[in-house]
Structure 1
Amino acid sequence: MFLRNSKAMRILVCGGAGYIGSHLVRELSTQQGYEIIVLDNLSKGHIKSIPNGIKFEKADIRDKKALERIFSEYKPDAVMHFCASISIEESVADPLGYYENNVVGTIYLLQTMKKHNVKYFIFSSSSAIFGNPKEVPIADNIQPDPINPYGDTKYIVEKILAWSENAYGLKYICLRYFNACGAHESGDIGEDHDPETHLIPLIFQAALGQRSSISIFGNDYDTKDGTCVRDYIHVTDLATAHIKALEYLIRENKSQSFNLGSGGGYTVNEVINAVVDVTGIQFSTIMESRRPGDSAVLIANSTRAEQILGWKRKYDTIEDIVASAWKYHKSHINGYNDR
């Protein structure tokens, strides 16, 4: 909770109609002391995910005039940034598009913040900045070494933020999450991308008969069953981490970077088995070759976030995460159905 002379703190949530952004907005809207403004171009986000009463602006962070108007009108105190394009495979195929949206768009956003003297910034970073780390679980202080354009765009922005603090006094927190998944406990909002690229909703599509099978990309990695290992973190736990990060930033006025994960990992096969167990539905799987840019194992060490931010996860097992996602998907077979 934040109260500043009994006035609400205005938070501009860029990408607040997207998957992670919408869950942040839902959690933040339950807290006292905040006024939320959502900015989203709705290219990937969904207007139906935004709670009633939340101010909404349809705009793109690459539109300087729109940013100037929004900052002039709402005068935000802090910005949370979720507007990135997120597909590793797509970034390999279209690196220029990814650098334009993820880097150039962020520069425009930071320039507008500078002009309007907005000092607080929460950045949605990614585990993809680490590439193929030599140490697992991955600590916050491991040197980033991205192996795909998506991860590189996130790392570039992190470096821009550090230089911006040095030059302009910007205060920021980078939250490097691992595989966001799950859905809000109400079942009202969840994951709906077009096209869908994330593993768990793709598996649900197979379970619901919306696709004939689920592809497994590679079974020759150095893991327990040959399939990739990922650290799955519930989207609501990510949302609470963002709120904790904002509270810390206002209280301590100190820039930080944190990894957010569970400290453990599951192979692709284990996630598939968890979906079968939760849904009771069998479906076909197809083994395919590795995708370019995929890492074998990505697991986070989130100890610093837990100790410094006081962050605690609510969802600890893949079964709990899958069950929450299934609650959304089985009642929203066509997602938000707004395309």
Structure 2
Amino acid sequence: MTVLVTGGAGYIGSHMVLKLLEHNEEVVVIDNLSTGNEWAVSPQATFYKADIADPEALDTIFSNHKIDAIIHFAGLIIVSESVEVPLDYYSENTCKSRFLIQHALDAKVENFIFSSSAAVYGAPGLEPVSEAAPFVPESPYGTSKLMTELMLRDVAAVNPGFRYAALRYFNVAGADPQMRAGQSSRLSTHLIKIAAEAATGKRDGLQIFGDDFQTPDGTCVRDYIHVTDLAGAHYCALTYLRNGGASIAANCGYGSGYSVRQVVDAVKAVSGVDFKVTQAPRRAGDAAMIVADSTLARDALGWSPEFEDLETVIRHALQWERNLGNRTGGNPAG
């Protein structure tokens, strides 16, 4: 059987491909390369450059490969941008997901794993946040992810052969420990990525957005998860579904939060570089604090993270950044 990975040329998707290949899975990747890089896709995977809403491409993939599972990463991910251009996010994240789900049903694909987000909760004011928290997304990005989850829920309810896992990410960071993949986006908004760029001289410094949140030091608090552990959670979800597990939505995080200032200070300490930091106003859609309760992922899916340490996450991110070929992303050097 074969796993189809959408957005497999992107940051998390490329790590997922590596994880699947490590488990001797046959892997097919579809990515339109709007933000991903073809070089990031392992040559052991079969790659199709196409959009997930391209019917001819999907027909070709399902005709040429016996797909038993889809792991769906493709979509837009910048919270502040979603506030500015909401219809783009509903188009890319919701409408195109609906198209992909329909093709999965038509092709009788039984297992669907969706890249969701903690943004579906908004700013719950709870620590840690469990899956029982109410859905109050504060951005079109969060709403677009929630809408896709609701589609999957409703489709699974009337199609007994179709089951899904929606994994709600907290803040993803780091890079493959073997440096085969990492965060290579040209316009990243991920804090640890930006701080690593500042520490390696690719930026003049970084901005902290907001210092008046209701947190201990006034800056946002987040739960940072290593990207390789996140890929591992997806593989656990795949195994769970293949073994007959019921449809599930689960948080993916470590259950410990760090403020923006704490992360910046940690990057400075690990890198040994005291880069410039300036204060800026809040960004639209940013919640003050959100930390995961990942008990369900650990207990139901059998997920056991390996890199549950902020310093390790930062060290891998810095090593990847030093290996990148140029200032805006590219093949890793060496």
The partner residue of 1:120 within 78, 89, 111 is: 111
Is contact 2:185-2:329 (8 Å) kept? Answer: no
TM-superposed deviation, 1:209: 2.1
TM-superposed deviation, 1:212: 1.7
Is contact 2:200-2:321 (8 Å) kept? Answer: no
TM-superposed deviation, 1:333: 5.1
Aligned partner of 1:83 in structure 2 is 74
Q: Distance in 2 between matches of 1:115 and 1:316?
A: 39
Any residues of structure 2 matched to 1:1-339 within 5 Å, and which?
Answer: 9-32=1-24, 34-169=25-160, 170-332=162-324, 334=326, 336-337=329-330
Is contact 1:48-1:336 (8 Å) kept? Answer: no
TM-superposed deviation, 1:186: 1.1
TM-superposed deviation, 1:168: 2.3
Alpha-carbon RMSD across the aligned residues, in angstroms, is: 1.2
Q: Which amino acid aligns with 1:61?
A: I
After TM superposition, the structure 1 stretch with the greater mean CA deviation from structure 2, 46-55 or 114-123, is 46-55
Q: Which amino acid aligns with 1:109?
A: L
Is contact 1:62-1:101 (8 Å) kept? Answer: no
Q: Distance in 2 between matches of 1:222 and 1:100?
A: 34
Q: Which amino acid aligns with 2:149?
A: E
Q: Deviations over 1:238-282 (max 9, x none)?
A: 001000000000102410010010101000001101111111011
User: Matched residue of 2:27: which SS?
Assistant: strand
Q: Distance in 1 between matches of 2:248 and 2:288?
A: 27
Q: Deviations over 1:182-206 (max 9, x none)?
A: 0000123100112111111111222
Q: Distance in 1 between matches of 2:189 and 2:329?
A: 16
Q: Which amino acid aligns with 2:31?
A: D
With normalisation by structure 2, the TM-score equals 0.96
After TM superposition, the structure 1 stretch with the greater mean CA deviation from structure 2, 228-237 or 328-337, is 328-337
Q: Which amino acid aligns with 1:337?
A: G
Q: Distance in 2 between matches of 1:249 and 1:54?
A: 22
User: Matched residue of 1:66: which SS?
Assistant: helix
Aligned length: 329
TM-superposed deviation, 1:336: 4.5
User: Matched residue of 1:77: which SS?
Assistant: strand
Regions of 4+ moved over 4 Å: none
Q: Distance in 2 between matches of 1:205 and 1:54?
A: 29
Flag the 1:336–1:291 CA change in 2: closer, same or farther, 3 A. closer
Q: Deviations over 1:77-112 (max 9, x none)?
A: 110000010000110111011100001110110111
Q: Deviations over 1:275-324 (max 9, x none)?
A: 11111011111101100100000100001111111111111221111001
TM-superposed deviation, 1:327: 1.1
Could you tell me which runs of 5 or more consecutive residues in structure 1 were left unpaired when the two chains were aligned: 1-8
Is contact 1:46-1:336 (8 Å) kept? Answer: no
Q: Distance in 2 between matches of 1:316 and 1:106?
A: 31
Identity %: 42
Is contact 2:125-2:289 (8 Å) kept? Answer: no
Q: Distance in 2 between matches of 1:18 and 1:211?
A: 22
Is contact 1:177-1:259 (8 Å) kept? Answer: yes
Q: Distance in 2 between matches of 1:28 and 1:255?
A: 21
Q: Distance in 1 between matches of 2:22 and 2:173?
A: 21
Q: Distance in 1 between matches of 2:244 and 2:58?
A: 28
Is contact 2:207-2:277 (8 Å) kept? Answer: yes
